[in-house]
Amino acid sequence: MIDFRHFLTALQNLVANAIKATATQVHLSAKVTSEGILVTVWDNGPGIPIDIREDAFKVGVSGRGSSGLGLAMVMDVVKAADPGATVYIKDTITQKELDLLTPEQKEYRKAHGLRDIPGTEFAMLLPPFPNTFTRWLSPSFWLFKLAEKKRAAKSCADGAA
């Protein structure tokens, strides 16, 4: 069974990686598939350079001159969470690559739901969780938790007044 704390650590690292890559937008999504739960993190950063894509999850590999630990840690954490889980680069493209696409290649990307701006999309495929974890991926669960925190804060404020 997956350790949800590991999953959250991996997700935090992917989001932090996107922010460090100068992304101004980061999109998270999750959906249940026949294989498990697919979580994606997309950012509009510059994309992963071609020469390091194959080794992007290896220790010491970086496109920005950093330590190269971030993506390696994500892979380790996901595997520690569950040996059946995986993380991979679903899509990445630089502006230079976009500029060189033929109209047919652009159409293919569009038909397959790939964006037409530079960026990177990572995907984590996790084995099915028990229902208690699946609910954590639900927006209504997080809205409920936010409302709960607001009520608690209001209650504290009312008690202090």
Mean pLDDT computed over 38-63:
87
Pairwise CA distance, residues 110 & 68, whole Å = 31
In tens, the pLDDT along 115-161 reads 888 888 888 887 776 554 555 555 565 566 667 777 777 776 677 66
User: Please, which residues have CB within 8 angstroms of residue 101's CB and are 6 or more apart in sequence?
Assistant: 109
| pLDDT for the residue 104 | 93
Please give the mean pLDDT across all residues of the chain. 80
Which residue did the predictor score with more confidence, 140 or 16? 16
Q: Is the confidence at residue 64, as pLDDT, over 50?
A: yes
Which residue, chain included where needed, has tokens 């997080």?
142
Query: For the purposes of burial, counting CB atoms within 10 Å of the CB of 79, is it exposed (0-12), middle (13-18) or buried (19 or more)?
Result: middle
Lowest mean pLDDT among 56-60, 70-74, 157-161: 157-161
User: Cα 102 from chain centroid?
Assistant: 29
In tens, the pLDDT along 83-117 reads 778 888 888 888 889 999 999 999 998 898 888 88
Q: Is the confidence at residue 40, as pLDDT, over 80?
A: yes
Query: For the purposes of burial, counting CB atoms within 10 Å of the CB of 38, is it exposed (0-12), middle (13-18) or buried (19 or more)?
Result: middle
Architecture per CATH, domain 4-129, reads as 2-Layer Sandwich (3.30)
| pLDDT for the residue 114 | 84
Share of the chain above pLDDT 90, in %: 6
Q: CA torsion angle for 154, 156, 159, 160 (degrees, to 10)?
A: -110
| pLDDT for the residue 105 | 92
Share of the chain above pLDDT 70, in %: 83
The domain locations on the chain are: 4-129
| pLDDT for the residue 132 | 44
Is the pTM higher than 0.75? The answer reads no
